């Protein structure tokens, strides 16, 4: 499998997809066309999303083709040279992907070696479930089950504290609730500006910030780029 799972598309004050673009370029070297899944878009159209991503990928010489234009989206996935799933609302994305049978179609392609790039919601749906998303369930998917290309959960945009004056649960507390209910699952808090790269059986953290690791019965720990992450594939 070849996976590039990005926490966020845009760092504060930067252009869209600017910070991860060099990593995406290396990951997709030699790719001329990528199939894009835009279904996390809610307040703007799929066509607008496709255009936005195409504008950035054009810098890499890669054509973007969105599944929303296909009569048979699964066929487009089956024939894809590479696959990209964008961020937005994870529940909207999951519902549409489930309705079109894209979860299983993408998993088969990933297992066959087709490169996969996702950010935010697009990283969430690569997990076993979408249960560690930060998003509001604005629509109801058939289930929380996702692609399942990796055996652990990702919490993108991970934050260490709440805004000043907010007395609600922290992100850490929410994840602790999750692992209490799901004691066999690892959860990684992927901070903004960070990327997980999986290829040739090796998982690598890319970015200057550490990644937070949660599992029931174990102390919370942090890892940095270069650390061994193979334990995330152990049950």
Annotated active-site residue 157? The verdict is yes
Instruction: Confirm if 48 and 41 have CB atoms less than 8 A apart.
Output: yes
Contacts for 40 with CB less than 8 Å, ≥ 6 apart: 85, 86, 87, 88, 89, 90, 92, 93, 120, 121, 122
From the candidates 7, 9, 120, 123, which is the catalytic residue?
Answer: 120
The CA distance from 6 to 59, in Å, is 19
From the candidates 135, 143, 227, 228, which is the catalytic residue?
Answer: 135
First to last CA, the chain: 19
From the candidates 104, 157, 197, 227, which is the catalytic residue?
Answer: 157
Half-sphere exposure of 48 (CA within 13 A, CB side): 6
Instruction: Confirm if 136 and 89 have CB atoms less than 8 A apart.
Output: yes
Annotated active-site residue 120? The verdict is yes
At 195, give phi and psi (nearest 5°): -140, 145
Q: How are the residues of the chain apportioned to helix, strand and coil, as percentages rounded to the nearest 5?
A: 30, 20, 50
Which residues are marked as active site? 120, 135, 157
């Amino acid at each position: 499998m070849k996976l590039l799972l990005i926490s966020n598309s845009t760092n504060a004050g930067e252009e869209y997809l600017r910070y991860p673009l060099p990593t995406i370029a290396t990951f997709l070297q030699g790719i001329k066309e990528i199939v894009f899944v835009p279904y996390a878009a809610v307040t703007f159209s799929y066509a607008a999303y496709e255009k936005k991503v195409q504008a950035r990928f054009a810098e890499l010489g890669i054509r973007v083709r969105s599944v929303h234009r296909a009569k048979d989206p699964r066929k487009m996935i089956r024939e894809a040279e590479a696959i990209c799933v964008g961020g937005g609302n994870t529940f909207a994305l999951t519902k549409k992907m489930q309705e079109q049978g894209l979860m299983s179609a993408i998993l088969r392609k990933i297992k066959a070696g087709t490169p996969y790039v996702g950010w935010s919601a697009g990283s969430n749906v690569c997990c076993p479930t979408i249960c560690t998303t930060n998003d509001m369930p604005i629509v109801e998917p058939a289930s929380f089950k996702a692609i399942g290309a990796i055996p652990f959960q990702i919490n993108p945009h991970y934050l260490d504290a709440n805004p000043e004056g907010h007395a609600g649960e922290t992100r850490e507390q929410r994840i602790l609730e999750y692992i209490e209910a799901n004691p066999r699952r690892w959860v990684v808090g992927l901070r903004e500006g960070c990327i997980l790269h999986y290829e040739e059986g090796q998982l690598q953290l890319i970015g200057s910030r550490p990644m937070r690791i949660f599992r029931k019965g174990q102390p919370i720990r942090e890892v940095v780029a270069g650390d061994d992450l193979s334990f995330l594939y152990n049950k």
